[in-house]
Amino acid sequence: MARNKKRISKRTRNRLIFAGGVIVVLLLLFLLIRALFGLFFSSNDTSSTNTDSNKTVVSFMGVGDNLIHETVYNDAKQNDGTYNFKKMYTNFKKDATNSDISFINQKTVLGGEKLGLSGYPTFNSPTEIAQNLEDTGFNLVNLATNHSLDKGEEGIANELKAFKKTNIVTDGVYTSQKEFDTIPTFKKKGITFSFLAYTFGTNGITADHDYNVSYLDDDQIKTEVKKVKKISDVVIVSGHWGDENTFKPNSLQKHYAKLFTDCGVDVVIGTHPHTIQPVKWIKGSSGNKMLCVYSLGNFLGGMLSTDNVIGGEIKFDFVKEKKKISIKNVKWIPIVIH
């Protein structure tokens, strides 16, 4: 009896040792297979964990003219006398909030009700638009347009006051030389961006001061881009230019597109023609490339012709890999005002 118990105990111990050995062998095989698979996977997939950890992606979206005709602000008027345009931007809230940088061109000056709201040809729009744009997700706005001086310096002052209540970055109009000389810069995911805005003109209206509006000017552009290239990783330019109701860039647009490229600008977002125009890669004198969106057309407005109700949304990524930043995944999305 005692002998049988010893035999059983020894047999059990041997089985446990054998089972333990089998488990160790299987574990070693599993680790070996996993290591081999890992080598195979990483050698054939450029989006492996190690690669992604060294890549920074800043997403960008942009739309064209936020053109506030009388019909538009009348539709936005609330029962309490205030104005709310958010319902008009609803279809773009997802894209705007999901993008790191969301651009829009504020075509008409936000002078506010005290200066008298008006539509074409001399515009003045409600100041509530600034907050509505931020609520929608926009965080980069051009203010340099041919309608910037429609309500003089007071209109510009009211507009800037409205935007200063938000976290939106703006450029293009100013109430002092100090504001004019200060170029907006901001950071996204450790990448420093600079934003410059220029317009071809202001419909023949002369500014009270030279610093009120930023115009397309060769010397000014060369000076400002050179300045920001020293402090920024990426330079974004808003160009308000071109002939209205045309689908091709004119000679002025081509001239400044080439100048921006040669100066080292990374991307130009064009507005004003009220129609869509081409998206081009332009090669600079130093071998660099610049993405030029000649015109995004209208985003919102009361212009009713087919050409004017079709606009565009541009989307792309700024991708930083091994300290080099490039523009990738460029996508054009057609939009319709309705």
Q: Name the pairing type of β-strands 298-300 and 310-321.
A: unpaired
Predicted local confidence at residue 182, as pLDDT: 97
Q: What backbone phi and psi angles, to 5 degrees, belong to 322?
A: 55, 45
Predicted local confidence at residue 141, as pLDDT: 98
The kind and range of the H/E element at 283 are strand 276-283
Predicted local confidence at residue 54, as pLDDT: 84
Burial of 76 (0-12, 13-18, 19+ CB in 10 A): buried
The partner residues of 171 in beta bridges, in order of sequence, read 142
Give, as one character, the DSSP assignment of residue 85.
Answer: -
Predicted local confidence at residue 315, as pLDDT: 98
CA dihedral defined by 322, 323, 326, 331, rounded to 10 degrees?
70
The kind and range of the H/E element at 261 are helix 251-263
Predicted local confidence at residue 166, as pLDDT: 98
Predicted local confidence at residue 30, as pLDDT: 47
CB 282 within 8 A of CB 258: yes
Q: Which of 257, 253, 252 is nearest to 268 (CA)?
A: 257
Give the predicted TM-score (pTM) of the model.
Answer: 0.84
CB 271 within 8 A of CB 284: no
Task: Give me the amino acid identity at 338.
Answer: H
Q: Name the pairing type of β-strands 185-188 and 191-199.
A: antiparallel
Structural tokens at position 95: 């894209």
Rounded to whole angstroms, what are the CA distances from 44 to 40, 311, 329? 7, 40, 21
| pLDDT tens, residue order, the chain (338 aa) | 544 445 445 555 666 565 555 555 545 544 544 443 343 333 333 333 334 668 999 999 999 999 999 999 999 999 999 999 999 999 999 999 999 999 999 999 999 999 999 999 999 999 999 999 999 999 999 999 999 999 999 999 999 999 999 999 999 999 999 999 999 999 999 999 999 999 999 999 999 999 999 999 999 999 999 999 999 999 999 999 999 999 999 999 999 999 999 999 999 999 999 999 999 999 999 999 999 999 999 999 999 899 999 999 999 999 999 889 999 999 999 999 99
Residue 48 burial (CB count, 10 A): 13
Contacts of 19 (CB under 8 A, 6+ apart): none
Asked whether the bond before 334 is cis by omega within 30 degrees of 0, the reply is no
3-state secondary structure 129-162: HHHHHHHHCCCEEECCCCCCCCCHHHHHHHHHHH
